[in-house]
Amino acid sequence: MLRKLVLTILFFNIVSLPFAFAESIVGAGPKSQPIIINGDTVEYSTDAQEVTASGNVEIIYGGSKLTCQKLTVNTQTKQGVASGNARLEDPQGIVEGEQLIYNFETHTGSIVNAQFRANPYFGKVKNLDKESETEFVARYGYMTTCSFDHPHYKIASKQINVIPGQAIQAKDNCFYLGGFPLLYMPRFNRTFEKPLMHVSVLPGKRKLWGPYLLSVWRVNVNDNVDGRLYLDYRNKLGWAEGFGANYRTANTGKGDFKFYYTYENKDPDDNVNDGYNRYLLRYRHKWAIDEQTDFMSEIVKVRDDKRKYFNTEDGFLKDYFFREFEKDQEPLTYALFHHSFNYSSLNILVQKRINHWYTYDEKLPEITYSLPSLKIGESPFYFDSNSTLTTFNKRSTATSFPDNEVKVTRFNSDNKLSLPLKLAFIEFAPFVKLGETVYDKSADGSSLPARTVFYGGADASTKFYRIYNVNTDFMGLDINKLRHIITPSIKYSYNIRPTIAAIKLKQIDSIDSLTSNNSAALELVNKLQTKRKDEKGKEYSVDLAEFDINTTYAFGPRMFYGTTRTIENDEYVYETNVPELYKRSGSFQDFLFKLKLLPYSWLRIEADATYKHSGAPTDLDYDNYNHFSKADYDIIFQFSPERSFGLGQRYERKQGNQITAEFKWRLNPKWKFGIYQRYNLRTYGDQSTVGDPVTRKGSLEQEFTLTRDLHCWEVDLTLNNKVNEGSTIFVVFRLKAFPENEFGFDQSYNSPKTGAQ
């Protein structure tokens, strides 16, 4: 009888024994690492070639620990059996069962009546089988993120397949809330890169919709296709439905499709139509053909009969998909092919306007070849080139223009030669550039020679620093020497007036409106740094402060804009060369300031401002000259991950001047609250101007949020009040294990005031 037996078995290779919802339980170790078996009784039989241990058995291997009441390991078959409260513990989780069977050679095994804990997953299964090194199957059990013995919710399944680190596939599932079966799901698939929630239901009430219920059901069609079904009801607008899919292919990339349709109820002000056909069809695809070649495309088609009849700027996207509308009011329809060569790249873009009220330019097609900064042989010169051939079709939706469509084909090529040098302590790079542009026709339809523009200039920058022997902990600043870094830079650029005046060209973009330029961009960056130590005593650099100021100085005569100019289609396109309109020989344009302060790890201050100089002819509002036209700042106190306070201000001369404040604080493990306030310091706006309503002095928005921890869930109760829009109550339930997945309902009340969106 032995109290302790240490065996070194060279051919034993104990690999991971993962369980459902965790990557591993036992980590693979070197083949020569010993297996240490402790127990009240440990015996080794040379005849049976078995190790038998009983009574408080404990095995420690590779950072994992197995405990049980009895253990048998056959050194020939490599089969091990642990019984009696078998428990396998690893830093990533714990699995327990009545009996654990594992073959160290085939890396397969099973656990009977197993329960597991691998944060954030918990569950129980009747049988847990490791069928191969990469797949586990759990039968007749449940999973949850609630750690209680009687969980608040769970998903019970007949079979769960787990591919560690990749995916979970469950069949014949039932969602239980407490002990009540709430929802049946025939199939549940989840990859670890995707959100968990497969069914979303959002009830609520809005003024324009009335009571509503929005729902989406995500379906795994197969391993390569995930489908979505939409079924929504809005009391004032009617039913809406749709479907979508995300797909993946082995050789031609991946993409997604969405179709959403509604036959919207009749508008009370419409005496002609009984309803309106409105839909969105969107298709996107991305294909990495090889390491150097990509293809992507997007098609967005919108039908909106209501917009057509009411001639309003509000459209289907804004009414039904406001978040998408905020990101992009006019989504593009395009196809883009990109190929990278060793030192250059080629892009082919086809951009088509299929929604007639959109205003973006059609490019049918646009071919771009780019050669960035290529060194010429053994010389010190660098050459870069950018050439673009485009067939444009530009159309404005403004009906006041008699000819609101521009069709032109243009070839533009910019070729630059530069010479980077090191002049003492200055990085200096002079350059020359030649721009050539060819048009198929002029503004009046006649032919044109090639337009030529010559450029010249230079970039120069340097860096100075000085170290101050300052060591102090005054006010807890923890300063261990200070380093002051000054980085000045100047970018000078000059180009002559193009050989063809802008007034003779169809106006598409800035290339067509190009005029002479003689200017220098100036920038000065100041940075203050110190050294601090982390918890292990290792030093690291900290930026305490950074201040950046930049502007542009324009040389030569400056045009006093606004007195004499040529107008074409309500747009300024050409400046008349009248000597008496020149202002002075040179002037600065707007000054831009940026400031960042980080004196403590819990305090961050950021500010920026624009000083409008009288020499900048980009704004006809001369009353704003020689004043700060804009100024913003934010002060953020981050005391802990869930305790913070922020204060900010947004100032714009003769426009808004708003103060914002946000406060978040966890009171205890169960409760936390947040407050957000937006306050306007003055009244601005012209009531007589259409589309520019007056914004009154006072509170613009208030929001109060109270959060309750429900163990495995969190619930937010939020009251939001906005001027001109009324008040809204939000209730959001969120799984703590997956905070990106949430569902909730909201109730709006108080009729929005006049002018509300």
C-alpha to C-alpha distance for 394 and 407, rounded to whole angstroms = 6
- Do 95 and 15 share a structural domain? yes
Q: By C-alpha distance, which of 316, 318, 249 is closest to 287?
A: 249
| The amino acid at 412 | N
Q: How far apart are CA 523 and CA 488, in angstroms?
A: 6
Give the count of alpha carbons within 13 A of 52, CB side only: 8
Are residues 200 and 180 part of one domain? no
Enter the tokens of residue 582: 């020149």
Same domain, 240 and 273: yes
Is residue 474 helix, strand or coil? helix
Task: Measure the CA–CA gap between 756 and 722, rounded to whole angstroms.
Answer: 10
Does any domain span residue 237?
Answer: yes
**Same domain for 216 and 131:** no
pLDDT for residue 420:
94
Residue 417 domain-assigned? no
The C-alpha atoms of residue 145 and residue 121 are separated, in whole angstroms, by: 5
Domain assignment present for 62: yes
Average pLDDT in the chain: 80
Q: What pLDDT does residue 563 have? A: 42
Q: Do the domain assignments include residue 355?
A: no
Is residue 169 in some structural domain? Answer: yes
Give the closest residue to 440 by CA, choosing from 407, 415, 473: 407
CA–CA separation, 170 and 139 (whole Å): 10
- Based on the fold, state whether residues 214 and 132 are members of the same structural domain: no
Are residues 319 and 256 part of one domain? yes
Q: Give the integer Cα–Cα distance in Å for 607 and 610.
A: 11
pLDDT at position 65: 81
Q: Are 387 and 412 in contact (CB under 8 A)?
A: yes
Q: Is residue 615 assigned to a domain?
A: no
| 5's tokens | 């037996």
Instruction: Please check whether residue 203 lies inside any domain of the structure.
Output: yes
8 A C-beta contact, residue 751 and residue 726: yes
Residue 85 has a pLDDT of 85
**Per-residue pLDDT, 621:** 52
> Looking at the structure, do residues 181 and 220 belong to the same domain, yes or no?
no
Range of the domain at 179: 2-185
What is the value of pTM for the model shown? Answer: 0.64
Q: Are residues 173 and 264 in the same domain?
A: no
Q: Are 227 and 259 in contact (CB under 8 A)?
A: no
Shared domain check, 137 and 119: yes
- Helix (H) or strand (E) holding 624, with range, is none
Looking at residue 96, its pLDDT comes to 85
**Rounded distance between C-alpha atoms, residue 505 and residue 515, angstroms:** 12
DSSP 8-state class, residue 542: E
The beta strand positions in 62-119, using DSSP E, are 64-74, 79-90, 93-103, 108-118
State which of 128, 159, 185 marks the end of a domain: 185
Which residues of the chain have a pLDDT value below 70?
1-35, 62-63, 92, 104, 119, 133-134, 164-165, 189-200, 311-314, 396-404, 556-585, 614-624, 684-695, 724-727, 737-757
Residue 387's closest CA among 348, 349, 413?
A: 413
- Tell me: the pLDDT tens digits for 204-217? 777 778 888 888 88
Cα–Cα distance between 192 and 170 in angstroms, integer? 14
Q: Which residues contact 408 (CB under 8 A, 6 or more apart)?
A: 391, 392, 439, 440, 441, 506, 508
> Are 154 and 214 members of one domain?
no
* Domains contained in the chain, number: 3
77 & 168 share domain:
yes
Of 131, 165, 185, the last residue of a domain is: 185
Residue 461 is predicted with a pLDDT of 96
- pLDDT at res. 564: 44
In a domain, 233, yes or no: yes
Q: Is the dihedral of CA 139, 142, 144, 148 positive or negative?
A: negative
Output the furthest CA–CA distance in the chain (Å, rounded).
Answer: 114
Tell whether 180 and 255 lie within a shared domain.
no
Q: Final residue of a domain: which of 185, 215, 241?
A: 185
Backbone angles phi, psi at 503, to 5 degrees: -65, -20
